[in-house]
């Protein structure tokens, strides 16, 4: 059974704090093992990647077969049914259209002293996208990572997707083809992250690494950050549903289970203004669990991490939601737009009972790579901005330098940075005919 809480209970606050502090991330200490893997790949390159792939993924590779060939990709893509292909193409079209609107504009202007100022946006040159492998891999994640990169203008885009036991998901390769990926490597784990970050004889290094993975992948991304950029350190999936009693309990049960079925560490929470309705939803969850293929995973998630919280009103619900800062937030209330204005911390908001979170995972348009573990308090979901860099521009005229240069010289002197001040003073002296 999930945890039942009410804000009117005298012990609500400590129990809610315990829920917020629940550690759902991988408990296994993998950092030392990951450090050794990265060091090995840096030292031995292809040989280390090939040996580790054989060890962990039971796949024998050579430098020539680290990446899928065009013929292999064409053969695998040919196995995809027309209906599945059409669904992927629809998703890609909507994701591309949404992310195209995120592209920022360059700017340049002249200020009051005559200085020209501005900024310019340019893409990273190369990005590497990590996709978990095997039949459980997700083609939707390929689209969500690759399309923003292509919209941003990334020149070289590669995917690392392991094939444990030689198992390939044709949909992943088709998604990569639709999104415009240049190469798909059949490698995974910390060794793939290390190869993408540092490069090997056969794998060119990239500038940015994005995409989800297990604890080893997350630890590797932490370690290579600084050498390359990363999107985020993703934890287990989360959903928070705020609902009044005017909803289908079965719909909400399915929404809660849509995240619970990801992982035993996933978390599903319902906040409602009606305690009896909350119990009805809990019963609907139990009924639906009996029918799910992944009921063991979903059931463990719901029992260990799930919660139903009863609140006095929707203002209180919004306040609790902001403390939770969920990855996914569904607002199944009479006026979801009004309630959404009170939400300041959430990865993605789904407005109204007809907008299940699952639509956002596939074809809604917004990105499904979102901040977890309360990191929506300070970070955002993946976007074109993750693949762009802003470069500032400044151009002084002699008059502009004369107007603001003395202040720069003064500040440089206050910081005891003599050459800084002299570099400005030399130009000011030239303007004054050398008179100082």
In this predicted structure, the answer to whether residue 316 has a pLDDT above a threshold of 70 is yes
Determine the pLDDT at residue 26. Answer: 56
- pLDDT band for position 25 (50/70/90)? low
- pLDDT band for position 275 (50/70/90)? very high
For residues 128, 104, 327, 197, the Cα torsion angle rounded to the nearest 10 degrees is 20
Q: Does 274 or 214 have the greater pLDDT score?
A: 274
Contact 171, 83 (CB under 8 A): no
Angle at 104 between CA 101 and CA 108, to 5 degrees: 145
Determine the pLDDT at residue 215. Answer: 87
Contact 309, 320 (CB under 8 A): yes
- pLDDT band for position 334 (50/70/90)? very high
What is this structure's pTM?
Answer: 0.94
For residues 12, 13, 14, 18, the Cα torsion angle rounded to the nearest 10 degrees is 90
How confident is the model over 50-74, as pLDDT tens digits? 999 999 999 999 999 999 999 999 9
Angle at 281 between CA 275 and CA 286, to 5 degrees: 130
Q: What is the dotted CATH code of the domain comprising 31-115+122-232?
A: 3.40.50.1980
Residues forming a β-bridge with 350:
330
Determine the pLDDT at residue 121. Answer: 98
**45: phi then psi, degrees, rounded to nearest 5:** 60, -130
Determine the pLDDT at residue 1. Answer: 87
In this predicted structure, the answer to whether residue 386 has a pLDDT above a threshold of 90 is yes
Three-state secondary structure call for residue 183: strand
- pLDDT band for position 328 (50/70/90)? very high
Q: What is the mean pLDDT of the chain?
A: 95
Domains 31-115+122-232 and 236-378 share a fold: yes
Catalytic residue numbers read 327-328
How confident is the model over 75-117, as pLDDT tens digits? 999 999 999 999 999 999 999 999 999 999 999 999 999 999 9
How confident is the model over 404-424, as pLDDT tens digits? 999 999 999 999 999 999 999
Contact 318, 343 (CB under 8 A): yes
Q: Which helix (H) or strand (E) holds 4?
A: strand 3-6
Parallel, antiparallel or unpaired: strands 267-272 and 238-243? parallel
Of 72-81, 103-112, 367-376, 427-436, which gets the smallest average pLDDT?
Answer: 427-436
- Output helix, strand, coil percentages for the chain, rounded to the nearest 5: 50, 15, 35
Percentage of the chain beyond pLDDT 70 is 97
The domain limits of the chain are 31-115+122-232, 236-378, 396-431
Of 6-15, 133-142, 198-207, 347-356, which gets the smallest average pLDDT?
Answer: 133-142
Determine the pLDDT at residue 27. Answer: 52
The stretches of 290-369 forming alpha helices (DSSP H) are 295-305, 314-324, 336-340, 357-362
Segment 395-411 shows an average pLDDT of 98
Whole-number Å distance between alpha carbons of 412 and 417? 5
User: Which residues have CB under 8 Å from 110's CB, separation 6+?
Assistant: 116, 117
Of 299, 92, 268, the residue nearest 180 (C-alpha): 92
Q: Which residue carries 């669904």 as its tokens?
A: 87
Determine the pLDDT at residue 8. Answer: 96
- pLDDT band for position 16 (50/70/90)? very high
Three-state secondary structure call for residue 19: helix
Q: Does domain 236-378 have CATH number 3.40.50.1980?
A: yes
Contact 346, 376 (CB under 8 A): yes
Parallel, antiparallel or unpaired: strands 116-123 and 107-110? antiparallel
Q: Which residue carries 């370690």 as its tokens?
A: 223
Determine the pLDDT at residue 24. Answer: 65
Q: Which two tokens stand for residue 7?
A: 């804000």
In this predicted structure, the answer to whether residue 351 has a pLDDT above a threshold of 80 is yes
Segment 201-209 shows an average pLDDT of 98
């Amino acid at each position: 059974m999930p945890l039942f809480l009410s804000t009117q209970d005298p012990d609500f606050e400590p129990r809610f704090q315990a829920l917020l502090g629940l550690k759902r991330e991988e408990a296994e200490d993998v950092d030392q093992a990951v450090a050794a893997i990265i060091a090995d790949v840096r030292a031995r390159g292809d040989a280390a990647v090939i040996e580790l792939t054989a060890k962990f993924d039971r796949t024998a590779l050579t430098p020539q077969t680290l990446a899928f060939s065009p013929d292999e990709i064409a053969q695998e893509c040919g196995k995809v049914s027309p209906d599945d292909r059409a669904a992927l193409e629809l998703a890609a079209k909507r994701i591309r259209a949404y992310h195209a609107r995120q592209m920022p504009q360059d700017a340049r202007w002249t200020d009051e002293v005559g200085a020209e100022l501005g900024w310019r946006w340019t893409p990273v040159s190369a990005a590497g996208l990590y996709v978990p492998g095997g039949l459980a891999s997700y083609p939707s994640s390929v689209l969500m990572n690759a399309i923003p990169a292509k919209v941003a203008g990334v020149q070289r885009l590669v995917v690392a997707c392991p094939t444990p036991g030689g198992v390939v998901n044709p949909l992943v390769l088709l998604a990569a083809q639709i999104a415009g990926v240049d190469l798909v490597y059949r490698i995974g784990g910390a060794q793939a992250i290390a190869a993408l970050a540092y490069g090997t004889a056969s794998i060119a290094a990239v500038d940015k690494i994005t995409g989800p993975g297990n604890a080893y992948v997350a630890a590797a991304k932490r370690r290579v950050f600084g050498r390359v950029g990363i999107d985020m350190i993703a934890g287990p999936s989360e959903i928070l549903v705020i609902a009044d009693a005017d909803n289908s309990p079965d719909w909400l049960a399915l929404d809660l289970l849509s995240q619970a079925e990801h992982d035993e560490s996933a978390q599903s929470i319902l906040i409602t203004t009606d305690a009896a309705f909350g119990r009805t939803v809990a019963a609907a969850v139990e009924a639906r669990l009996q029918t799910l293929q992944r009921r063991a995973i979903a059931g463990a998630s719901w029992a260990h991490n799930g919660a139903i919280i009863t609140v006095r009103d929707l203002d209180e619900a919004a306040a609790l939601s902001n403390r939770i800062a969920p990855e996914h937030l569904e607002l199944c209330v009479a006026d979801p737009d009004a309630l959404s204005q009170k939400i300041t911390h959430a990865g993605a908001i789904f407005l109204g009972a007809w907008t299940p979170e699952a639509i956002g995972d596939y074809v809604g348009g917004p990105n499904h790579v979102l901040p977890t573990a309360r990191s929506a308090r300070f970070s955002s979901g993946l976007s074109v901005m993750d693949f762009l860099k802003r470069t500032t521009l400044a151009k002084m005229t002699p008059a502009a330098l004369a107007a603001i240069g003395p202040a720069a010289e003064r500040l440089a002197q206050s910081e005891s940075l003599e050459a800084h001040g002299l570099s400005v003073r030399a130009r000011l002296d030239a303007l004054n005919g050398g008179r100082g």
